[in-house]
Amino acid sequence: MSHQHSITPHDQARILAEALPYIRRFHGKTMVIKYGGNAMTDTALQAAFAQDVVLLKLVGIQPIVVHGGGPQIETALHRLGKKGEFVQGMRVTDAETMEVVEWVLAGEVQQDIVGLINHAGGKAVGLTGRDGGMIRAKKLRMPDQQDASKVHDVGQVGDIVSIDPGVVRALLEDAFIPVVSPIGFGEHNESYNINADVVASKLATVLKAEKLLLLTNTQGVLNKSGDLLTNLTARQIDKLFADGTLSGGMLPKIAGALDAARSGVSAVHIIDGRVPHAILLEVLTDQAFGTMIRSH
């Protein structure tokens, strides 16, 4: 705890004063936060994340949390002796696996996050895409990387058809913090597991959110020399894809982020969830800690 006492009252006042213009600018605005990776599994980072979300709410910003849970699903399947099968990096989700995905995401993980936020002084409410008919989905069709005419069946993995954010809006207006599990439903009432980055990006777009914050296990977007690129436009991101600077695991994350930036979300931030209070540092200070992607 000693580091907290090393800040002088003068520094503390200066820090609060620096946050003021940002608080004023974002007051009443919606922010969608994708929560996953280290930030989700490290106890100290969990507490810092929950405090950040509660602080945003208290200063009049409207946070919505969308969470992942890959490692937790892996652990649960392992306990049941179920071997994970992957096609092109995508988990094949049969009916039994989907059941596990639902109780891990909508049960354990979601309620852990709700508990953390409530413990930090907020009023969190857990939802899945079923609640309020929020996320309609259909089966994801996954073309083969080598042969585009061939489509892989990865089971109950979903693509978003539409999002009805009514239930989220109602909660936001009523002092609650929604915590959304990325599960959608199909036309025959079947469940679909959906990529959490995609859910966060689409939800931010539908809500015309001021910001979409994606917590990752990287510093942000790096150039070929490994330096952090703090401020990019959608067009510059396209160039980074074209020249091969961006590839691998960043592709799905940034594809969703780009869609959101092009579709009315003012700014998308890719930030390092391994840094305590990464959200506050990015949203309420002058210093850029991650990569901000602006629509133009």
CB 232 within 8 A of CB 291: yes
Rg (CA), the chain: 19
Decide: 157 and 140 in contact? Cβ < 8 Å.
Answer: yes
CB pairs under 8 A, 24+ apart, for 45-50? Answer: 45/273, 45/274, 45/276, 46/116, 47/116, 47/120, 48/276, 48/277, 49/116, 49/215, 49/273, 49/279, 50/113, 50/116, 50/117, 50/119, 50/120, 50/122
| Helix H or strand E encompassing 294 | strand 291-294
Residue 254: left if φ>0, alpha if ψ -120 to 50, beta else—which one?
A: alpha
User: Residues with Cβ < 8 Å from 215, sequence gap 6 or more?
Assistant: 33, 34, 35, 36, 37, 39, 49, 271, 272, 273, 278, 279
21: phi then psi, degrees, rounded to nearest 5:
-60, -35
Q: Which residues line the annotated binding site?
A: 69-70, 91, 193
| Residues in the annotated binding site for substrate | 69-70, 91, 193
DSSP-derived letter for residue 289 is -
